[in-house]
Amino acid sequence: MKDFPEFMKNEKNHISSSQQNTEDIDGYYFEGEDGSQMAFWTCYSDRVSKEHKHEFDEYTVVVCGQYTAIIDGKEIVLNPGDEIFVPKGTLQGGRYIAGTRTISAFGGRRIHK
């Protein structure tokens, strides 16, 4: 597949660019009853994700492309099928190559509408 299915990209679930740590990335989310969320990200050009922390755990899997996670200053290259778990409070950032798609699960509310 070259993109996430259309049903996963409903405008009602679109993530505003003001809530993203990376420019030129498109995201959609779903929320669980407990407030946890999942986000589906597509990065359209080579980009850097700003350093940030969350007050909840985060799990990410790379669907296609490549994401280099920078966790507490250590670089971890993730290719399709690779996963990473980032504990809450951990300083993180990274680099995407154009065309990268990832799925992230958050143990809390990352996106606020």
**Domain count of the fold of the chain:** 1
CATH number of the domain at 91, please: 2.60.120.10
- Residue 62 domain flag: yes
112 inside domain: no
Instruction: Determine, yes or no, domain membership for 113.
Output: no
What's the pLDDT tens digit per position in 76-104? Answer: 999 999 999 999 999 999 999 999 999 99
pLDDT at 1: 87
Q: Say if 82 falls within a structural domain.
A: yes
Instruction: Answer whether residue 50 is part of any domain.
Output: yes
Backbone angles phi, psi at 12, to 5 degrees: -65, -20
Chain mean pLDDT for the chain: 93
Q: Please state the pTM of the whole predicted model.
A: 0.91
Report the C-alpha gap between 43 and 27 in whole angstroms. 9
Provide the domain limits for residue 93. 6-106
